[in-house]
Amino acid sequence: MTKAESQLKRYQALMNNALDGIHVLDMQGNIIEANQSFCDMLGYTAAEAAKLNIADWNSQWSRDELLQRLRNFVGKSARFETIHRRKDGTLINVEVSTVGVEIDGQTLFFASSRDITARKEAEKSLQDNERRLRSIIDTEPECIKVVDAQGQLVEMNAAGLAMLEADSLAEVQQKNLLSYIHPDDRTAFMRLHRKVMGGESGMLEFRATGLKGASRYLETHATPLRDQDGQITSLLGITRDITDRKVADEKLQKIQTNLAAAQELAHIGSWEWDVRNNIALWSDETYRIFGIDRDALSEHRKNFLDLIHPEDRQRVDQALSDALNGVRQYDVDYRICRTDDGLRIIHALAEVMRDEEGKPVAMRGTVQDITERKEVEQKVQFLTQIYAALSQTNQALIESKDEATLFGWICRIVVEFGGLELAWIGVNEEESGRIRPVSAYGRHTDYLDNIVISSREDEPSGRGPTGTAFREKRSIFIQNQKTDPMLANWRALTLKYGWGSSGTVPILRGGEPYAVLAFYHSGEGVFTGEIIGLLNEMAKNIGRGLDRFDLEQEKLKAQESMQLAATIYRTSVEAIMVTDQNNRIVEINPAFTTITGYTLEEVIGKDPKILQSGKHNKQFYQEMWQSILSTGHWRGEIWDRHKNGGLHAKLINISLIRHPDGSIYRFVAQFSDITDKKQKEELIWKQANFDSLTKLPNRHMFRNQLEQELLKSQRSGTPVALLFIDLDRFKEINDALGHAKGDLLLMEAAHRIKMNVRIPDMVARLGGDEFTVILPEFGERLHLERIVQDLINELIRPFDLGEGHMGFISASIGITIYPDDAEDIGGLLKHADQAMYAAKAEGRNRFSYFTQSMQQEAKEKLALTNDLRQALARNELHVYYQPILELQSGQVTKAEALLRWKHPVRGMVSPATFIPLAEEAGLIHDIGDWVFQEAVARVADWQQRFGRLIQVSVNKSPIQFEQPEKYIWQEQMKKLGVPGNGITVEITEGLLLKESSKAKERLLEFRNSGIEVSIDDFGTGFSSLSYLKQFDIDYLKIDRSFVKDLEKNEDDKALTEAIIVMAHKLGIRTIAEGVETEQQRDLLKSFGCDYVQGFLYSPAVPAAEFEKMVARRTIG
């Protein structure tokens, strides 16, 4: 076989065995050759196929298009899909591979056609499936989404977009997926994402918020998606909106809760009683209804009856017997006494089982707690009664002609128709503030004889329900008389009458409280919302009835008023002027002529401008007319001119009267002459704002001016200085020379202060010898200090008080600066006062700026004073005794009672510190009386124990002489058996200098009762020898300031010896204080001093230690 034959054979084998339809075409598309597969594909025989042209089986393109495509294939190969038409007309999809080649000068096209109809149908089926799946996904009501490994949203169906309130996937992808999830659920969502990307499926309920803000509950089920290599690439999530389910769950839970509550509220239990064996079986609910444990009750009839209210036991026992005997069915209501919540009402129903002989063998029944139902029935009955009472009340309002009849009728209706125990109406008496019962009906009206009720809140009897209801114009209902705190003052009485609840409703007259309607019921908690509403309506109707009475009275009065108005118009002392719409005078009354001097004939038709005085500018009248035309009235003061030319002030009220259509009809002016009043007001203003003596602004005007200056300072930022001036030694001059001279000095001082400050500065007198100066915008402190120093220099100059008297004073000035030292008036004044006292403490005749240390000292002083107020009650004060020795014998014969304060925190507080505080705070009286009580009790005790009198000296402050002692000393001493000379009263020289009548009277009383008087610290003051004789002084106490340098100071020696000699000449004994050395003692002894005390012998000691010294008689 030749090579050509072999190739031809292989070619033929390929053609015949190929599954694809192979065919060869010429340039005109005619078949040159086709294999059997091609013929079978198109349904032609080989002979028929040999006659075919490409246009016979290709249904996609025309013949020309097919030939053009063949020409395009020359020299190259191509593969494409097209449609072939079979012999029977059916169409098939084919994939054609062709190549155009030239063989022996002829162009041939070798083509292979493969039937791809099945593949196309599979592809179409796949596309259809994809479209159906897409349609299903897009119409699926649940969200289907794909999330990649980074948590970014890749795909989401329409349901998911709707859940997030988005129109497109791109709109959702603009934000991070986590941003849609509730912050509290994000951690759980990220945990789910990690779990699924790890290969597990998962589920999560979470909350999400859409783009438009709608929030919903979602439930997602997620599973991993893998690629063809099995790697997890993303997460597929199916999410459903469970908001409705959540809401439904909540509703279901609520329904279940309500159902459980309803079942519990039904309170139905079952029971069975074995009559023969007397054994009872109860259900759990029965035990719960009776409020007892299973073990707390034995199965016997008697134990069951013990649970029943004593008043109902016999009736229930009889009902059981009747049922067993066949008399009637067991159907009974009774009360039980539960230990946890009191009385409950039970309905019991049972049937009796009998044997063949008709004998009872058992009872089966139920029990139900019907307490609430019974209460409802009672409430319905009560509500019906109140409706009836309201109806009857309305009838009474129609038929009553006066208040007394109406009130009596109302009380009776409320009781008889309303089912209440007692009702009463009380009217408020404005002057006394008492609510006085004027009508009452029902049981226990005597209750009203024993009560006092006020309408005023500041009285205890006004803070109960009746007073509160009246005052606050609201109804008050007490649901439990036994426990309500508002009835604290009346509880004993209300419980006496057995009332359980009560109510009080205010009765308004003309919109204001006039009276109250009070009522009482035996049951507790009976006044429910609807009943309260009806009773409030009843009170309102009663108020309307009273208003109707008043209206009828007003109609009668109106008729009288019209007659009276005409008389008043003619006889009124107040002028009346009427003008028309053009403001021309049309009418006046006689008083107009009296006040203005013009008659009607002189002013009719004229403009009231003829009365103008010229004192008011054009703007004044413009504003007046604007008010009249806009508001319909104007009231004010006007200066007008009398016919004779004189000016007078008028208080005028102008009213505008309009026609029904709103146009102006008349202007009515009423006025009175207030010229005298204006003059008096000016005088009163001056009296209210200026000091009558110095003509300076007083405290009131000072505070107003200071307030204005502080406001200016806040706006401008410039400081304001305040001076507080106190005149040193003024009181001594006033006491010595009399008030007239003191007034002269004050007037001159005020003049000097005013002349030495600037024009914008204000000088004021606060009272007494206290002045203030307000200095706004004072510049530098150097300038301020120059002004203050000038004031000090002026005030130290002598004052000529006439009649040869000269006054010598100085000034202590405190300075505060706003806003540095304080932020308000009170703070400035307080700090200026503190600074002034600091200047006094430094020696007077000087000034001092306020410092924070002063404030701290003031706080410390206040704290110590407050502690001192409690010291007596807390037993912190103690009386110590310093022995006083007779110098010649060396025996302890006397003692000085000295007060000591042991503070729980500060320790021992010096008397020099706390005694002045006690005097300032007014505590010295109580403390002084207590010290006396302690001292006189000791004297009495020692006299009895030691058989001799130990005299005790008690210091008495000058302040104590200004008011009576709590205990009269003489009476107290007499009561304890202490003679007059058992106590010595120690006073200071200043008390004698004051010439106080009270002090004189008290000292003479002491002398007459034998109580001796000692002058303390003699020689340091300014007392006169005449006072020593006038008051019959018994002892002079030589001050320690003379004694301490006695050994080395010749002056002190001379003065001390002179005092002793002088005292002895006057018959007065001497006591030297502060003796600390033997040399001092010896000198005093040589001078003839009678007694001594001091640390040489002993400091002040507690009573027990002092008693030891008394027992020894000597010290040492």
737: left (phi over 0), alpha (psi -120 to 50) or beta: alpha
Instruction: Write the pLDDT tens digit of every residue in 726-764.
Output: 999 898 888 778 889 999 999 999 999 999 999 999 999
Chain position carrying tokens 């020309």: 64
- In this predicted structure, the answer to whether residue 410 has a pLDDT above a threshold of 70 is yes
**Cβ-count burial of 481 within 10 angstroms (0-12 exposed, 13-18 middle, 19+ buried)?**
buried
Per-residue confidence (pLDDT) for residue 134, from 0 to 100? 64
**Cβ-count burial of 352 within 10 angstroms (0-12 exposed, 13-18 middle, 19+ buried)?**
buried
Instruction: Write the pLDDT tens digit of every residue in 355-384.
Output: 988 899 899 999 988 887 777 777 777 777
Q: Could you tell me how far CA 588 lies from the centroid of its own chain?
A: 58
pLDDT band at 1089 (very low <50, low <70, confident <90, very high): very high
Residue 491 or residue 560, greater confidence = 491
For the segment 661-690, the average pLDDT, to the nearest whole number, is 87
Q: Which of 490-494, 704-708, 960-964 has the highest mean pLDDT?
A: 704-708
Per-residue confidence (pLDDT) for residue 263, from 0 to 100? 44
Question: What domains, with CATH codes, occur in the chain?
Answer: 12-121 (3.30.450.20), 140-249 (3.30.450.20), 267-369 (3.30.450.20), 376-554 (3.30.450.40), 592-679 (3.30.450.20), 690-776+811-850 (3.30.70.270), 870-1112 (3.20.20.450)
Instruction: Write the pLDDT tens digit of every residue in 470-479.
Output: 888 899 898 8
Per-residue confidence (pLDDT) for residue 369, from 0 to 100? 86
Question: What is the chain's percent helix, strand, coil content, to nearest 5?
Answer: 45, 25, 25
pLDDT band at 1021 (very low <50, low <70, confident <90, very high): very low
Per-residue confidence (pLDDT) for residue 1023, from 0 to 100? 47
Instruction: Identify the CA nearest to 699 among candidates 632, 645, 774.
Output: 774
- In this predicted structure, the answer to whether residue 777 has a pLDDT above a threshold of 80 is yes
Write the DSSP assignment of 820-872 as a string of letters: TT-SSHHHHHHHHHHHHHHHHHTTSSEEEE--HHHHHHHHHHHHHHHHHHHHT
Sheet strands (E) in 642-719: 647-658, 664-673
pLDDT band at 1073 (very low <50, low <70, confident <90, very high): very high
919's tokens? 């005097």
Q: Could you tell me how far CA 359 lies from the centroid of its own chain?
A: 74
Instruction: Write the pLDDT tens digit of every residue in 33-53.
Output: 888 888 988 899 888 888 889
597's tokens? 């001097």
Instruction: Write the pLDDT tens digit of every residue in 1023-1045.
Output: 456 567 677 789 999 988 889 98
Per-residue confidence (pLDDT) for residue 722, from 0 to 100? 96
Please give the Cα distance from 24 to 799 (Å, whole number).
154
Please give the Cα distance from 459 to 470 (Å, whole number).
14
Q: Which residues touch 636 (CB under 8 Å, ≥6 apart)?
A: 624, 651, 652
Strand partners, 1067: none
Instruction: Write the pLDDT tens digit of every residue in 588-626.
Output: 999 899 889 999 899 899 999 998 988 899 999 999 999
Write the DSSP assignment of 484-552 as a string of letters: -GGGTTTHHHHHHTT--EEEEEEEEETTEEEEEEEEEESSSS---HHHHHHHHHHHHHHHHHHHHHHHH
Please give the Cα distance from 87 to 42 (Å, whole number).
6
Per-residue confidence (pLDDT) for residue 318, from 0 to 100? 92
Residue 296 or residue 438, greater confidence = 438
Per residue, the 3-state secondary structure of 380-394, as one string, reads: HHHHHHHHHHHHHHH
Per-residue confidence (pLDDT) for residue 658, from 0 to 100? 92
Q: Could you tell me how far CA 92 lies from the centroid of its own chain?
A: 92
Per-residue confidence (pLDDT) for residue 988, from 0 to 100? 82
Per-residue confidence (pLDDT) for residue 260, from 0 to 100? 40
Residue 100 or residue 938, greater confidence = 938
Report the DSSP pairing between strands 575-579 and 664-673: antiparallel
Please give the Cα distance from 999 to 1022 (Å, whole number).
17
Per-residue confidence (pLDDT) for residue 500, from 0 to 100? 86
* Helix, strand, or coil (residue 191): helix
Per-residue confidence (pLDDT) for residue 809, from 0 to 100? 93
Per-residue confidence (pLDDT) for residue 884, from 0 to 100? 96
CA dihedral 121, 127, 128, 133 (to 10 degrees): 150
Sheet strands (E) in 227-383: 232-241, 268-274, 279-282, 330-338, 342-354, 360-369
CA angle 721, 766, 788 (to 5 degrees): 35
Chain position carrying tokens 């009750």: 297
Q: Which residues touch 1059 (CB under 8 Å, ≥6 apart)?
A: 1018, 1019, 1036, 1038, 1042, 1070
For the segment 208-223, the average pLDDT, to the nearest whole number, is 90
- In this predicted structure, the answer to whether residue 667 has a pLDDT above a threshold of 80 is yes
Please, what is the average pLDDT of the chain?
86
Residue 725 or residue 778, greater confidence = 725
Instruction: Write the pLDDT tens digit of every residue in 247-273.
Output: 878 776 776 455 344 445 556 888 888
Per-residue confidence (pLDDT) for residue 11, from 0 to 100? 64
- In this predicted structure, the answer to whether residue 482 has a pLDDT above a threshold of 90 is no
Strand partners, 363: 273, 352
- In this predicted structure, the answer to whether residue 1114 has a pLDDT above a threshold of 80 is no
Per-residue confidence (pLDDT) for residue 787, from 0 to 100? 92
- In this predicted structure, the answer to whether residue 321 has a pLDDT above a threshold of 60 is yes
Instruction: Identify the CA nearest to 839 among candidates 720, 725, 921, 915.
Output: 725
